[in-house]
Amino acid sequence: MGITCRLRPDRGAYNGGVADPRVVVLASGSAGNAVWLEAGGTAVLVDAGLSAEALLRRMAQAGCSSEALAAVLLTHEHDDHARGAAALARAVGVPVLANEATLRACGLDRGVPCERIANLQPFRVGAWTVEAVPVPHDAADPVAFVLEAAGTRVAVATDLGDVGEVLVERAFGSDVVLLEANYDLRLLGVSPYPWFVKNRILGRYGHLSNDGAAAAAVRLHAGRPQRFVLLHVSEVNNLAPLARDVVAGALDRHGVAAEVQVVRPNQTAAVSLAGRR
């Protein structure tokens, strides 16, 4: 049984919002992560890893109206994903949605409206049907999200050490896959990071490499037009053009004609949904 998020009466059907699905990466990388998804007048924000002020500023700059925002969804409690969640939820008057372990790990105060969701149990937020899919990462109960509205399916999978069968099954064939491409193995090897940090990044509960993202993209491809958007690209251990080349090259070798877009660290970028059908 899924749950339906209790939207405020004036949320979820904002007339000034966009009807067609729209995806905007407001921030990506170790300094902060947030992805805006809007359809049918309802927007959700996946992660809120900048301050509330910075998020509201970027939303305004990108033409994302806070009036349309219905909920903040959290993948996990790490600061670069959850930093601004409580303040933004309070400022806009929307709930923070996350699984129980993540809500607890975030230590949200009582004044913050929040709702518990369960992994692998789809729930609705306005026009969106959302499913949280567990992923391996060094947090309390980290998830990726697969969201669908108006026939468009979007997967958001950042901060994961590995792409498992369940995620592939749930996200397979998504029109847009926002996927972590955190590091290049050689650049990580020569980076100034201490060895224990490198081991954490490399481990099953760490982050996804360019090669890992490439393998995942090949597995998630369903033989029709799809767009892969690479996020959480490290400024120290990766290069945006390299991440793009590795993933696009792997798709190419498998005869897959998919668009690959890379979002540079701390960049705001609209994701093109043109030609997705």
For Zn ion, the binding residues (CB under 5 A) are: 78, 159
Can you tell me which residue has the tokens 């890893």?
Answer: 49
Inter-axis angle of helices 210-220 and 240-253, to 10 degrees?
40
Shortest distance in whole angstroms from residue 147 CB to Zn ion: 19
Shortest distance in whole angstroms from residue 139 CB to Zn ion: 6
- Strand 269-271 relative to strand 69-73: parallel, antiparallel, unpaired? unpaired
Q: Which is nearer to Zn ion, 78 or 221 (CB)?
A: 78
Contact indicator for 97, 75 with CB cutoff of 8 Å: no
Shortest distance in whole angstroms from residue 262 CB to Zn ion: 19
Can you tell me which residue has the tokens 């921030």?
Answer: 27
**Bridge partner list, 34:** 27
Task: Give the other-Cβ count within 10 Å of 114's Cβ.
Answer: 21
Q: Which is nearer to Zn ion, 78 or 153 (CB)?
A: 78
Closest residue to Zn ion, based on beta-carbon distance = 78
Q: Which is nearer to Zn ion, 152 or 209 (CB)?
A: 209
* Residue 242: its H or E element: helix 240-253
Q: Which is nearer to Zn ion, 98 or 251 (CB)?
A: 98
Shortest distance in whole angstroms from residue 96 CB to Zn ion: 17
